[in-house]
Structure 1
Amino acid sequence: MKIKDNRIITITTIGIIILIWALITSLHLVESLIVPSPKTVLSAFLEILRKGYKRQSLLFHLGSSLYRLLAAFVFATIFAVPLGLWAGFSKKARAVFEPIVDFVKPLPPLAYYTLLVLWLGIGNESKIALLFVACFTPIFIASAAGVTRLPERFLNCAYSLGASHGQAFRKVVFPAALPAILVGMRTALGVGYTTLISSEMVAATSGIGWMVLDASRIMRSDVIFVGIFLMGFTGVLMDMGLRKLEKKLVPWNGKE
C-alpha cells in the first residue's frame, strides 16, 4: 500500500509541476523564447522524432551518447571493482593506488579533456577515456570503503572455521562490500552522464549534449528542453535499473 501511495505522490508532484509550467507560459509571465510551453516542447520532440535533428535521427543522437557512457562505465567497473577491493584488503595495494586516486579525484574532468582530445582526437575514443576516468574514481573508492568497513571479527570467524584467504574473500569480503560497490556504481553513472554531456558540448558532432549546444546557438529553446528532458529521463531509467539490480543482488541491505 505504501509503494502505491508513494507512486501516487510522485505522479501528482510531476503533474503539479507541469501544470504550473503550463500556467506560467499561458499567462505569458515569461518570454516563450526563454521558457517554451509544454505543448511547444512536445511538438518539437515529435518533430525531431519524426524528422531527426541535423540530418540524424533522435535515436542516433541518443544512441551515440549512451554508447559512450555505457562503454566507459562497463570498463571502469571491470577495472575499478577488483582494484578497489584489493586496495581495501591490502595496505600495500592501498599505498600504491590511493595517492593516484586522491590526485585525480578533485580534478574537473574537462580540465584534462583537451589533452585527451590532442592524444586521441575528437572521436569516441577521447570521450570514452574521459568518462572512464570520471566513473573509475567513485567505484574504486566505494569498493575500497566496502572492504575497510567490514568488521574484523567477521574475517576472524571465517578463519576460525577453516576458511582460506580466497574463501574468506569470496564468501565474506565481497558480499559485505557489494552494497557499497553498487552505490559507487550509481554515483559513477551520474557523474559519467554529467561529464558526457559536458564533453559533447566541447568537441562532438553527435549526441544529446551536442544537440542542446547546437540548439542554443540558434535560440531553439524548445529543442533545448527536449534534450534536457531526454537526459533526465534516460538518467532516471538507468538509475532505476541499478536499483533493481541492487535489490536483487543484496536483498539484505538496510534490513540488519
Structure 2
Amino acid sequence: MNEQLRKSIITKIISLITIIFTLILWMVSTKLKWIDPVFLPSPQSLWKTFLDLCHNGYKDSSLGLHIMQSMYRLLVALLLAFVTAVPLGIVCGMNSYILAIFEPFIEFYRPLPPLAYYTLLVLWLGIDNSSKIALLYLSAFAPLFLATLSSVKQVPKDRIHAALSLGAKRMNVLFSIIFPSCLPDIITGLRTATGVAYSTLVAAEMVAATSGIGWMVLDASKYLRSDVVFVGIFIMGGIAILLDGVIRLYQRKQFTWVGKE
C-alpha cells in the first residue's frame, strides 16, 4: 500500500469517527435534555419529521415538489450562467477592449450581497420564478466568468502562435486549443458558482414563494418548527454534496492530471 492511499484511508476513518462521535453526543445531549428540543431536536424526532414530510409534505405540497422547484430554479440559473459567462469570459480573455466594456459592471455587482439587489429584480421581473432564477444567475455568473477569464489569460501564447503558424484559423484555435486548455478551470469555476448560487437559494425563495426547500426552511422558522428547519438543512446539505460530488467525479474522470504532482 503506497503512502498516499494509506493517508487517504486514515483521513476517511478519522472523518467517520468524528461523525459517529458527534451523532452520539447529539443523541446523549438531547436524551438527557441538556439542550431545549426547540433549539436542538433529537435525531429520532428529526427522522420522524422526515418520514412525515415524505408522506404528508409541507403546506399542501409534497417534499419532492419542494426539492424539484428549488432544483429547477438552481439548474436553470446555472445553465444560463454557463452558456453566457463561459463564452464572454473567453472573448474578454482574448480581447482586452471587450473586457474593458464588461469588467466595470461585473466588478461592481460581484461583491454586493444578493439581497441588496433582489428587490430590484422583483420590481423588474415580478414575484414569480423569473426574479428568483435571475438572482441565482447573477450569483453564479461572476465566479464562472472570472474563472474562465483567468484561465484564458494563462493559456501559453506559444501554443497559439504555433497553431497559427501551421495555418490554423482563429476559430480552430478557439475550439481546439483555448477552450480545451481552459476546461479544467471552467469546471472548477462551475463548482464555485454552484456553491455560491446554492447558498443564495434561500434568499431567492424569500419573496412570494410557496414552494422550494429554501422556502420550507424559512417558513418553518417563523413557527419555531426547528425539526422541519433541521430536516430542510440536512436535505439541502445532502443535495449540495451530491451536486458537488457529480462535478468532482467528472473532473477526476476527464482531467486525471489535475492536482497531480
TM range (shorter): over 0.9
Within a 5 Å distance, the mapping from 1:219-234 to structure 2 comes to 219-234=224-239
CA contact (8 A) 1:87 1:93 kept: yes
CA distance in 2 between partners of 1:22 and 1:129 (Å): 41
Amino acid at match of 2:180: P
Which of 227, 248, 251 is equivalent to 1:246? 251
Once the two structures are superposed, residues 10-57 of structure 1 have per-residue CA deviations (whole angstroms, 9 ceiling, x without a partner) of 333322221221122122111111001111111110111111111110
Matched, 1:198 2:193: no
Once the two structures are superposed, residues 178-203 of structure 1 have per-residue CA deviations (whole angstroms, 9 ceiling, x without a partner) of 11111111111111111111221343
Matched, 1:165 2:167: no
Matched, 1:19 2:24: yes
User: 1:36: which partner in 2?
Assistant: 41
CA distance in 1 between partners of 2:180 and 2:17 (Å): 38
CA distance in 1 between partners of 2:165 and 2:256 (Å): 27
Which of 172, 187, 191 is equivalent to 1:182? 187
Q: Which runs of 5+ in 2 are unaligned?
A: none
Deviation at 1:149, TM superposition (A): 1.6
User: 2:150: which partner in 1?
Assistant: 145
Deviation at 1:97, TM superposition (A): 1.6
CA distance in 2 between partners of 1:160 and 1:119 (Å): 50
Query: What root-mean-square deviation, in Å, do the aligned CA atoms of Structure 1 and Structure 2 show?
Result: 1.7
CA contact (8 A) 1:84 1:143 kept: yes
Amino acid at match of 1:128: I
Once the two structures are superposed, residues 95-138 of structure 1 have per-residue CA deviations (whole angstroms, 9 ceiling, x without a partner) of 12211211111111111111111222211111011111111111
Which of 59, 82, 88 is equivalent to 2:93? 88
User: 1:122: which partner in 2?
Assistant: 127
Aligned residues, how many? 256
Deviation at 1:7, TM superposition (A): 4.1
User: 1:66: which partner in 2?
Assistant: 71
CA contact (8 A) 1:178 1:250 kept: no
User: Matched residues, percent identical?
Assistant: 48
Q: Secondary structure at the match of 2:59?
A: coil
User: 2:219: which partner in 1?
Assistant: 214
The TM-score with structure 2 as length reference comes to 0.92
Deviation at 1:140, TM superposition (A): 0.6
Deviation at 1:245, TM superposition (A): 1.6
CA distance in 2 between partners of 1:68 and 1:144 (Å): 26
Farther-moved stretch of structure 1 (73-82 vs 194-203): 194-203
